[in-house]
Amino acid sequence: MKQLTTLSPAQRLFALLLLLLALSAGIYSGILQQRLLNPALSPLDDRANSALQRSLMLSSASFATARLIDRGIAFVSEAQVGVGVASIKPGQLLKPLQDMAVRYSDLMVLAMTSIGLQLFLLEFGKLAALPLFGTGILLSAVMLLLGPPAWRSTATYLLRIFIALLLVIRIGVPLAAFGVAELSDWVLEPQRIAAEAALSGETAALQRVDQPLQSGNEGSLSWLKQMAAQANDMFAAVKSFSDNMVEKLIQLIVVYSLQTLVFPLLSLWLLWHLGRWFVRRPLAERPAPAHTIPAVKPGTAVPGH
């Protein structure tokens, strides 16, 4: 640094241009990304990727469970039970529970979309963040060094924007994904495991009851009797877990909302505001030259005259 300060302005400008040329060669040849940046961030990328893949697998399994609940309750709701000369559908009483299962499956779709977006940003940061935003950094730096003084403010803001984008996409996104996964494992994982275990145990009866198919060797009356028996079995299975189902579904909705929507969006919001603060910081004012003569107000006597 001391040697740099002893150089003349032209020599400093030449040294900075050589540095930018070396950076551009490292970026476009792939050496800077493949030999330095990606290996250095590989542990963080691997942990973030494994955490997101695990969250995606859990969300997919929960979506399948929700659809199973919806299908089972829909079958029970359509089953008729004869009472004398009339028939009723006792499964209609479980329609609110079916609506909650549908809402839960919709939330799982949003969760999988959020996780997929984070995986895309993670891969984008590994493959294209440095070439794309590095180009913007180089062009902004050249504009700042060689452009007219009127361009310096715009060039400085552009340089800050590209630096902030590079840091947020390449480092902030995997760091946020890893941090959210660690926080979720610490705070939310016990509640999720307990709720899903109870939910899986209660829905096991639904998986064992299927709608019977009418056989050609059986009459319609025999098939209707089997249908009623299966409907009664299904209704008994649903009735046995209906008391705890609503509570477990609410717990899982809260857990997955925090894990896949609230925490990631909060981390991205914090990264956005951090980058915005970095970009919108006031520019440092250049000191006035020492030989500048202060302005004299009209009517003021000048010393020596």
N- to C-terminal Cα separation, the chain: 47
Phi, psi of 82, rounded to the nearest 5 degrees: -80, 135
pTM over 0.95: no
76 near 235, Cβ under 8 Å?
yes
pLDDT of residue 212: 47
- Pairwise CA distance, residues 55 & 112, whole Å: 8
pLDDT of residue 291: 45
Burial of 157 (0-12, 13-18, 19+ CB in 10 A): middle
115 near 56, Cβ under 8 Å?
yes
HSE-up (13 A, CA, CB side) for residue 69:
31
Residue 79's alpha-carbon distances to 119, 208, 230, 231, in angstroms, are: 43, 16, 9, 6
pLDDT of residue 293: 47
Residue 274's alpha-carbon distances to 97, 137, 168, 277, 279, in angstroms, are: 43, 19, 9, 5, 9
- Pairwise CA distance, residues 249 & 243, whole Å: 11
- Per the DSSP assignment, residues forming a β-bridge with 250 are none
pLDDT of residue 87: 53
Three-state SS annotation for 165-225: HHHHHHHHHHHHHHHHHHHHHHHCHHHHHHHHHHHHHHHHHHHHCCCCCCCCCCCHHHHHH
pLDDT of residue 161: 92
Please list the pLDDT of the chain residue by residue as tens digits (305 residues): 455 566 677 777 777 788 888 888 888 888 888 888 889 899 999 999 998 898 888 888 778 877 877 777 677 666 555 544 445 555 555 676 777 778 888 888 888 888 888 899 999 999 888 899 988 888 888 888 888 888 888 888 999 999 999 999 999 999 988 888 888 888 887 877 877 777 666 666 555 544 444 444 454 445 445 555 555 565 565 555 566 677 777 777 788 778 877 888 888 889 888 888 888 877 665 554 444 445 555 555 555 55
- Pairwise CA distance, residues 157 & 161, whole Å: 6
